[in-house]
Structure 1
Amino acid sequence: MEDLRFKNVNLENSENLEKHRTEDFSTSKALVVRRGAPFRVSLQLEGRPFNPKTDSLRVKVMLGRLYVVMPVTFIKKVSSTHWTAYIEPKGLNLQNPSIYISSPASATVGCYRFQVFAQNNRKTRAYGKFILLCNPWCPEDTVHIPFEDQREEYVQNDSGLLFMGTAKNIVSRPWSFDQYEPGVLETCLNLLQVSPQHQKNRRMDYLNRNNPVYISRVVSAMINSEDDRGVLKGNWSGDYKQGVHPSLWTGSGDILRQWTQSGFSPVKYGQCWVFAAVMCTVMRVLGIPCRVITNFNSAHDTNGNLVIEEFYTETGKKLHRSKDSIWNFHVWVECWMNRRDLGKGMDGWQVLDPTPQERSGGVFCCGPAPVKAIRDRRIDLYYDIPFVYAEVNADVHSIVLSEGRVLSYNKDTERVGSLICTKAVGYPRYQNLTGDYKHLKSPTSTLSSRSSTMSDDSTLRRAGSSKGVAVFLTLDKAPVAGEPVRFTVKVINKQSVAKMMKLHVNAQAKEYNNSPLDTFWETHGVIKLAPMEAKVIRQQILPAQYEDVVGDDLVNLAVVLQDMASQEQVLATEEFNIASPELIIEVADEGSVVPGKEQTATVTFTNSFSHPVSGALTVAGSGLLQGKVHFRMSQLRPGGTVQQGITFTPSMVGSKMLQASLLLTNMNTTIRGFKMVFVNRA
């Protein structure tokens, strides 16, 4: 009988992409499918047709030097643990027979090759390639997440919000994850290939790459460049001349493309939110559910004693004295997976932190640490639970010093981890996750003010210090650029004798992860308190006095009250950000946005500063715009408004983000705005 001869293989892209929910990866040259589910390929034969009674086919699937050979059966059999291949007899086209190939739910993630051949003629073969990803839709997959809206948000959504600022004045920064942009999928797979684990032992790396715990640790290490040829170089120095200021990135695509095009040289520069957002892109591409987390008042406890010490002068200026620190916010990711290595109860969200802070297993990575284990302080489990536990639970000791002598000592058990949040599913707002990480002492997870008066178990009371006075520092409202920062100092004499008090108020600019810089505003005075009297002092910092710290910088505000008779000192502090004005984006005919049809939008900016500004406007939108669009904004007087029209042509359906950023040339400030655009099917 004449041998079967293969002309080519049709990968049935459109059908397979739809069934595997990978349609948005259509720019990839390879077929993209998910593990644990069959995909169909069609053989185009030359010569005689396929004979089901006498022809016996085999499929060989290869990953590097690993391979598996399986017979093609006529029984529809999908195994969660083995590779299978079958033909459905019903409706079989003998000239173009279809074969279904199904991977196990625990298959390795990677780029595969396959061959189809007849058992009696191994010389003639049909060849193809496919990329295999994790499958959150498959119940047997260890990354299975059971709700469709969460799969849409944490796997498929290519844009999101990163939360910054402070817990009382949260700034929503738009970010484009860009996982469907050309070349991003291939770059994420290259990241696994470039990793030290793969370079050291390719066979073991491929075998281990079936496990999301292993994958996530590799990715966490590869996002930073400390130990390897990782994606991003961190920089907190303030000098970014050799690269891009971390605040200027708006999406992951530019970073990942630059890394690939440079031959895997680190991209300069990243800080915590950039590291986390790029890792979120990689994990979503690989099919592992991922979300970006912000921890406000995040402790970096270098000596592991769960105590952060902060030092102030007697006039309220904060000093740089400790290796420990509190970042106003720190950003990491959570990934969803089963933890079969830890036993029951630790499945679900796992903390992973790609920002290089401490080594884990000798490498700068962190996690996966189960959120449930952090909440219950299960420091006996893997990975890095003590470090993350300290980030959300450390106590803060505030100390007032004079010539090396301690004048005042204050303990705050509520400040660290005051709010832990992520973007809400389906909505452009934050979701509070604080109760998932820690046992809350009260229904509210944030404090409206901080006082030097202490609870009964405080360090101050145990030290036997006098409690003659109390001072409270409260912002009247969340500060907004262009308006005075108004705050109230409330002083209470708790004794039945009159007091003369020195009052010092000090404001310093600071970056989110550092001790403050020099004082930019201060006031001093003397107040007289009658016995048991309470006084309220209202203060304000004018826009012209603070405008250099609008945007990404924050303000450390401190009040020190000194009893002139007893020399007793009490301290109250607050750290806050001054919210920038926002760009307003409006889209014409919002309800009729469809792929391939040109649309128009308008970006509006109103200058709320006290002086003229000019700058450069950049507009981007994955799935809406090809690349970025740039405009110059000429000088705009205080109170003036400018509008810029743009056109865009959507290329994808679904909810897409149009985002704009205005970099002011005469200030260290970037103004941002975003608009969610729903693209309907044509």
Structure 2
Amino acid sequence: MALETEMLYLYPKENSKLHKTNQYDLVTDEEQPTPVLRRGQKFTVAVRFSNRPFDRTRDILRILFNFGPNPHPIKGTSGVVNIDPSKRHTIDEEQKLWFGNVLDDKRDTLTLEIFAPPNIPVGLWAVKVETSLISARTQINSFDYDGDLYFICNPWNCHDMTFMPQSRLLEEYVLNETGKIWVGPLGTTKGREWIFGQFDACVLPAVQLMFDKSGLAHASRGDPIRLSRMISKMVNSNDDDGILVGRWDGDYEDGTAPSAWTGSVPILQEYLDTQNSVSYGQCWVFSGVATTICRALGIPSRVVSNLVSAHDANSTLTVDKYFNEKNEEMPFDPNNPEGEDSIWNYHVWSDVYMARPDLPPGYGGWQAIDATPQETSDGTYQCGPASLEAIKKGQVGFNYDVGFMVASVNADLMRWKRDHTNVLGYTRIYCNKYHVGRMILTKQPFMFDYNGDRDRQDITIEYKATEGSRAERLSLFNAVRGTEAAKRFYDMSSDVIEDVEFDLLELEQIKIGESFSVVVKIKNTCEKTRNIKCQLSAATVYYNGVKAHPISKDEGEFNLKPKSTEELRLTVTADEYLDKLVEYSIMKIYAIATVTDTNQTWADEDDFQVIKPDITIKVPRNVIARRPTVISLRFVNPLKKTLTNCKFHVSGASLLRNQIITHPDVKPGSVITIDTSVIPKYEGEQKLVTTFSSRELMGITGTAKVDVHLHEE
């Protein structure tokens, strides 16, 4: 009689220590721990039989690992492990084969070590034990393991495509649960804390749901190139049943305001519970969730913020703005009726780390993926992975979406004025080569500056050569040569004499409720008097560059004597802008001028954000693990209006899951104080992240360090 399997035990907690997966809540669950294993690494299992001990002279034992609906070894979706105690297998040089060795044979139990190759698909696997007799091979007893098993990538293994040679960095890019995302315009950008929470119990099941909805072939789920591209597609819901619905108009009554999220876990939990897309997300939320998913699957990932980011809607590698004969900006793009170029105050995406065997040597390493739905790629809202090396060199012919990313960080800002004598109907009046991609930031590894920015890392040089350098221009023109639409725009030149210099001064930090001024300095460099028409204006805008409300505008004409200078100023009072602010309190100032003698036209703009107060968090000195502790939050309403529909979101990776606390309406200048309770799971330094949102004011954040002890000091 063939062996009858009574139990298969996968040692989830014991294996997790060697596989660096012991932080996953699925693994540490007391009632039903779930194994989470890294491919390309040995793990231990035990098989117990109910009718007799294993006999190597008469028994055949196989363990089958199956992935997806139609598993097959040729497709890499099935691993067949034949157990032969007389043989001792070792990992072959290329690590392509599954194998198993007997570690211990005691009575009715075999203890085995099994090796899974480093290129197998990631996600949920099924396990089956098959036993038969050598004398009757076709009579098979099967035992199905009644539980889940996850295999994920192994960036510590040099044969895995996600391998990172600087393995210490994996503590940051795979294992760190709390990070920062830099948001806000250039002058006031600030790192806001984000809890990735990749080890939370809901994350891998939510990722599995995403896999099932994605349509990505099971055999392709081991390739990080295909995986990361699919993640960029499925985190947004524009053309599939993805995770997040994007919205940028400030109306979030039927969902959660993007600025209210403290991290990815509540989003993925809602997605898993409802199996529907979650409302709402914006770029940093899409990036935070994408980074959580990548880290949960073992793909090294970081969040990247591009300050002054171009959205090139027609593949010209330019951001084009058009003006009529009266110097009025046109509300549409005459050369692209289906879309419009724009400049985002900032834009956030993710970098993932992997080899790129599909590209020439040297193009592996960090790759950009963007889950925010901006333009379609291969007919779907997805972007990347685009090699940073390819972006830096302008290699737009390489997969995937390199041209779009080149434009995002290095497009030239071109302004055009209606001109019926020109072939295009417009003459280029100004080109700014320095405006886009002013600074590209990510969090510095192994640092965390609470409510400060000392932990930011400038990685601009990884995306492009120094702005204005010969190498930067060569890489851009290399991209232009490979893009037909771009050639036409860069071939257009202007013969207008430019002998007047204009400079729109950037604003310093302005606190909410303070007045500010728009200032343009003008210098006449020639020996003749110049007659100048100028317009200055200010408006509130959403962070993606879409105008909200005009605030103030002034225009005039004047004569500028030879070799002289002039300063024009438009002052905007707090009363003029406070009622017109939209989410994040960002404003844009505009200036446009024409020298009537030469037809020289200049235009420029600048974005800035009025500074809002932070949430103050008071943490007791003695916080004890597994014991409730009360923490106080304090915030002052800075507006001259009542705040309604007030909510605090509070969370911490090992302190508490996302907690939503509603608060009554808050009168102008009033202080809000609330208490909440946390129960820390572990000792050590933990991070608490909070946000405040209301109909009238959003984007208020706060964070605090919580030192957790095992006993009272």
Q: State the TM-score, normalizing by the size of structure 1.
A: 0.86
Q: Secondary structure at the match of 1:335?
A: strand
**Which moved further from structure 2: 362-371 or 560-569?**
560-569
Indicate the percent of aligned positions where both proteins have the same amino acid.
27
2:478 aligns with: none
2:396 aligns with: 379
Following the alignment from structure 2 to structure 1, what is the Cα–Cα distance between the partners of residues 186 and 170?
Answer: 28
CA offset digits 1:173-216 (Å, max 9, x no partner): 3222232223221110121122223xxxxxxx222222111212
1:123 aligns with: 141
2:414 aligns with: 397
2:666 aligns with: 635
Runs of at least 5 residues in structure 2 that lack an aligned partner in the other structure: 72-77, 134-138, 334-339, 449-454, 473-488
**Which moved further from structure 2: 125-134 or 13-22?**
125-134
Note if contact 1:159-1:656 (Cα within 8 Å) is conserved in structure 2.
Answer: no
Matched, 1:542 2:554: no
2:10 aligns with: 11
1:61 aligns with: 65
Matched, 1:661 2:691: yes
Q: CA deviation at 1:384?
A: 1.6
Match of 2:512 among 481, 486, 501: 481
1:512 aligns with: 543
Q: CA deviation at 1:616?
A: 3.0
Matched, 1:362 2:401: no
Matched, 1:491 2:522: yes
Match of 1:305 among 296, 311, 316: 316
CA offset digits 1:29-68 (Å, max 9, x no partner): 5311110111112234446555667765322222233133
Supply the AA of the counterpart residue of 1:431: Q
For the structure 1 residues 274 and 49, does the alpha-carbon distance in structure 2 shift closer, same or farther, using more than 3 Å as the test? Answer: same
Following the alignment from structure 2 to structure 1, what is the Cα–Cα distance between the partners of residues 8 and 249?
Answer: 54
For the structure 1 residues 303 and 634, does the alpha-carbon distance in structure 2 shift closer, same or farther, using more than 3 Å as the test? Answer: closer
Note if contact 2:641-2:668 (Cα within 8 Å) is conserved in structure 1.
Answer: yes
Note if contact 1:555-1:575 (Cα within 8 Å) is conserved in structure 2.
Answer: yes
For the structure 1 residues 328 and 134, does the alpha-carbon distance in structure 2 shift closer, same or farther, using more than 3 Å as the test? Answer: same
Following the alignment from structure 1 to structure 2, what is the Cα–Cα distance between the partners of residues 235 and 244?
Answer: 10
Q: CA RMSD in A?
A: 3.4
1:100 aligns with: 113
1:201 aligns with: none
Q: Secondary structure at the match of 1:156?
A: coil
Matched, 1:212 2:230: no
**Which moved further from structure 2: 209-218 or 350-359?**
350-359
Note if contact 2:8-2:47 (Cα within 8 Å) is conserved in structure 1.
Answer: yes
Aligned pairs for 1:153-172 (under 5 A) are: 153-172=172-191
2:23 aligns with: 24
Q: CA deviation at 1:510?
A: 1.4
2:485 aligns with: none
Note if contact 2:260-2:649 (Cα within 8 Å) is conserved in structure 1.
Answer: no
For the structure 1 residues 419 and 680, does the alpha-carbon distance in structure 2 shift closer, same or farther, using more than 3 Å as the test? Answer: farther
Match of 2:123 among 98, 101, 110: 110
Q: CA deviation at 1:76?
A: 5.4
Matched, 1:177 2:199: no
1:331 aligns with: 348
Match of 2:300 among 289, 294, 297: 289
For the structure 1 residues 48 and 560, does the alpha-carbon distance in structure 2 shift closer, same or farther, using more than 3 Å as the test? Answer: closer
Q: CA deviation at 1:360?
A: 2.2
For the structure 1 residues 27 and 61, does the alpha-carbon distance in structure 2 shift closer, same or farther, using more than 3 Å as the test? Answer: closer
CA offset digits 1:282-317 (Å, max 9, x no partner): 211111111222222222223222222113578876
Note if contact 2:542-2:583 (Cα within 8 Å) is conserved in structure 1.
Answer: no
Supply the AA of the counterpart residue of 1:549: L
Following the alignment from structure 2 to structure 1, what is the Cα–Cα distance between the partners of residues 491 and 537?
Answer: 23
Following the alignment from structure 1 to structure 2, what is the Cα–Cα distance between the partners of residues 461 and 82?
Answer: 58
For the structure 1 residues 281 and 626, does the alpha-carbon distance in structure 2 shift closer, same or farther, using more than 3 Å as the test? Answer: closer
Q: Secondary structure at the match of 1:142?
A: coil
Matched, 1:672 2:667: no
CA offset digits 1:231-290 (Å, max 9, x no partner): 22333455444443333333222222222333x333233332222222222211111111
Following the alignment from structure 2 to structure 1, what is the Cα–Cα distance between the partners of residues 326 and 647?
Answer: 41
Note if contact 1:617-1:633 (Cα within 8 Å) is conserved in structure 2.
Answer: no
For the structure 1 residues 24 and 365, does the alpha-carbon distance in structure 2 shift closer, same or farther, using more than 3 Å as the test? Answer: same
1:229 aligns with: 241
Q: CA deviation at 1:541?
A: 3.0
2:653 aligns with: 622
Match of 1:78 among 84, 91, 96: 91
Supply the AA of the counterpart residue of 2:80: V
For the structure 1 residues 558 and 127, does the alpha-carbon distance in structure 2 shift closer, same or farther, using more than 3 Å as the test? Answer: closer
For the structure 1 residues 70 and 566, does the alpha-carbon distance in structure 2 shift closer, same or farther, using more than 3 Å as the test? Answer: closer
Q: Secondary structure at the match of 1:192?
A: helix
Q: Secondary structure at the match of 2:23?
A: helix
1:552 aligns with: 584
Q: CA deviation at 1:372?
A: 0.8
For the structure 1 residues 46 and 299, does the alpha-carbon distance in structure 2 shift closer, same or farther, using more than 3 Å as the test? Answer: same
**Which moved further from structure 2: 186-195 or 496-505?**
496-505
CA offset digits 1:149-169 (Å, max 9, x no partner): 421222122222222222232
Q: Secondary structure at the match of 2:505?
A: strand
1:274 aligns with: 285
Q: Secondary structure at the match of 2:606?
A: strand
Note if contact 2:523-2:563 (Cα within 8 Å) is conserved in structure 1.
Answer: yes
CA offset digits 1:75-131 (Å, max 9, x no partner): 252352111111225xx5445432112100111112122233444284264735411
Note if contact 1:408-1:569 (Cα within 8 Å) is conserved in structure 2.
Answer: no
Q: Secondary structure at the match of 2:501?
A: strand
Give aligned pairs, total: 655
1:584 aligns with: 616
Q: Secondary structure at the match of 2:547?
A: coil
Following the alignment from structure 2 to structure 1, what is the Cα–Cα distance between the partners of residues 381 and 426?
Answer: 37
Supply the AA of the counterpart residue of 1:375: K
Q: Secondary structure at the match of 2:151?
A: strand
Supply the AA of the counterpart residue of 1:213: I
Q: CA deviation at 1:144?
A: 1.1
Following the alignment from structure 1 to structure 2, what is the Cα–Cα distance between the partners of residues 637 and 653?
Answer: 40
For the structure 1 residues 376 and 578, does the alpha-carbon distance in structure 2 shift closer, same or farther, using more than 3 Å as the test? Answer: same
Note if contact 2:81-2:100 (Cα within 8 Å) is conserved in structure 1.
Answer: yes
Matched, 1:353 2:373: no
Note if contact 1:621-1:658 (Cα within 8 Å) is conserved in structure 2.
Answer: yes
2:46 aligns with: 42
Q: CA deviation at 1:505?
A: 1.9
Note if contact 1:8-1:126 (Cα within 8 Å) is conserved in structure 2.
Answer: no
Note if contact 1:177-1:278 (Cα within 8 Å) is conserved in structure 2.
Answer: yes
2:430 aligns with: 410
Q: Secondary structure at the match of 1:217?
A: helix
Q: CA deviation at 1:460?
A: 13
Q: CA deviation at 1:475?
A: 2.8
For the structure 1 residues 612 and 624, does the alpha-carbon distance in structure 2 shift closer, same or farther, using more than 3 Å as the test? Answer: same
Following the alignment from structure 1 to structure 2, what is the Cα–Cα distance between the partners of residues 346 and 117?
Answer: 44
Q: Secondary structure at the match of 1:581?
A: coil
For the structure 1 residues 195 and 374, does the alpha-carbon distance in structure 2 shift closer, same or farther, using more than 3 Å as the test? Answer: same
Q: Secondary structure at the match of 2:90?
A: coil
CA offset digits 1:514-533 (Å, max 9, x no partner): 44244202344566645422
